[in-house]
Chains A and B, each alone.
Chain A
């Protein structure tokens, strides 16, 4: 056992990093979000009067549209990743170790580690004029440059970012369910689909809910994907924060948006932990019955 002096020495530097570079700046952003913005100045002048205007502005109809886009498109992409990830993750979890399993897992890990920039650029080219963008949009009965195509591209971009991670996270959940349970259900006359819905899903629900919340949080905080694939027609809250800084230097408004995003992430984490707590409680009750 290291002496207390060593332990304090060890814990000091990470604590300093977190307090100085993380908590400090966030606290500064929170106070800045209450400062009055004077157009033309970069940031608020030091000691500018406090106000709630920055938050009041956010309830404007235009902002509500941006928030709606962020939450709606992220939700669609996260849900699609879960629904399509489930069969693949079940396949991986139940397959004995071997070449095919290793190949699929490796492909997913490589896709997960590949830069979002690469995926975004690849999608822009593939769905652009030299790719199959025109025939694809015609197939859906829309125009290549329309805002519907931008929405579809953002969802596809988010999907390719989330899908590998979702699938790998679901594998680790499914691996903890006894494979015999599904076999028993099918042997006792349940169909394969019923077996999955009535046996596997209830047993995995805790892990799946936490997976969903993790990927949903990642989706709403995505930055590059909506910025490039949204082509200016779709903007996420993250993109607004960047615009506040880069184009009009309205730091108080950017801060208010940042605080809002911070709150949303914290609420999601809170929901997931309390929901998981309750689900764990109900499962325990079922177990004792």
Chain B
């Protein structure tokens, strides 16, 4: 009897999971197919053929390409700055034995707890009070702030793995601090540094909740451009852009998998060898 109940429950769970999978994946497949729509408008499914017209519209659009370029440049600068600061913070957090380290650590992850919209709104306000005019600078500073928790965390994880003895040995053999940093610590921590950089880059490219408050008519990111068009003129250029963005996400995962392995996102557990 009990086993029957089990079978029924397993079937129910199986079908619920299939439904969940369908909800997650079918809309994405739908978008993928529609991005090749040959008709010049959004028409009933399925498309009668295939065409790349929406892709050429997306890549030919000055508006979108400008947004893409700006997004890319901002992500590159913000991720670099955030990585440098993150490495410095991690060096101090892992090497210092002082008690206030815990408090500082909590302060560094605090931006993760605060909703993006609240951060964006507060920064908008702050920048207008202190008189920062340039949207590019505003967005870069904002992105450094929101990516910093990620770069600090990945760097703390990797720096903690570098034995104290390595640094001690280097310093006692006569290397100066700068040399030790350049020749011992940074090369040994490069996996964490690279992972943190990729995370920061991906989050910066994707952020909208903070960025939307800081854009201007000439400086806007790709997500901001797409959101504006999703509300105004809803056409399939956005489908092509979505497929492009999904491709970027895929690329990021492949690179991350090469560096640290995808399965490390959930740890190994203690009952697995």
Query: Which chain A residues have a beta carbon within 8 Å of chain B's beta carbons?
Result: 1-3, 6-7, 9-11, 13-15, 17-18, 21-22, 24-26, 28-29, 32, 43, 84, 87-88, 92-93, 97, 101-102, 105-106, 109-111, 113-127, 130-131, 156, 159-160, 163-164, 168-169, 171-172, 174-179, 191-194, 217, 220-221, 223-224, 227-228, 238, 241-242, 245, 251, 254-255, 258, 261-262, 265-266, 269
Given A3-B177, A118-B245, are A125 and B31 also a contact pair (CB < 8 Å)? yes
* Residues of A with C-beta under 8 A to B30: 122, 125-126, 131
Nearest 5 interchain pairs by C-beta: A175-B269, A221-B115, A25-B122, A25-B126, A122-B27
A18 to B85, CA, bound (A): 11
A25 to B223, CA, bound (A): 24
Given A1-B167, A43-B128, are A97 and B263 also a contact pair (CB < 8 Å)? yes
User: Are the CB atoms of A18 and B114 closer together than 8 Å?
Assistant: no
User: Are the CB atoms of B271 and A121 closer together than 8 Å?
Assistant: no
Query: Which chain B residues have a beta carbon within 8 Å of chain A's beta carbons?
Result: 2-3, 5-6, 9-10, 13, 16-17, 20, 23-24, 26-28, 30-31, 34, 42-45, 85-86, 88-89, 91-92, 95-96, 104, 107-108, 110-111, 113-119, 121-126, 128-129, 141-142, 144-145, 148, 152, 164, 167-168, 171, 177, 180, 202, 206, 208-209, 212-213, 223, 226-227, 230-231, 234, 238-239, 242, 245-246, 249-250, 252-253, 257, 262-263, 265-272
Residue of B nearest to A89 (CB): B266
Number of A-B contacts defined by CB within 8 Å: 265
Given A1-B171, A22-B111, A191-B5, are A224 and B227 also a contact pair (CB < 8 Å)? yes
A138 to B148, CA, bound (A): 47
**Could you list 18 A-B pairs, sorted by A, with CB under 8 Å?**
A1-B171, A2-B167, A7-B91, A10-B89, A25-B123, A114-B28, A118-B31, A121-B242, A125-B31, A125-B34, A125-B239, A175-B268, A175-B271, A224-B209, A238-B209, A242-B212, A242-B213, A266-B113
Residue of A nearest to B43 (CB): A130
User: Are the CB atoms of A265 and B121 closer together than 8 Å?
Assistant: no
User: Are the CB atoms of A221 and B249 closer together than 8 Å?
Assistant: no
User: Are the CB atoms of A14 and B125 closer together than 8 Å?
Assistant: no
Interface centre among A105, A115, A265 (most CB of B within 10 A): A115
* Residues of A with C-beta under 8 A to B3: 191
Find B122's partner among A28, A125, A127, A266 (CB 8 Å cutoff).
A28
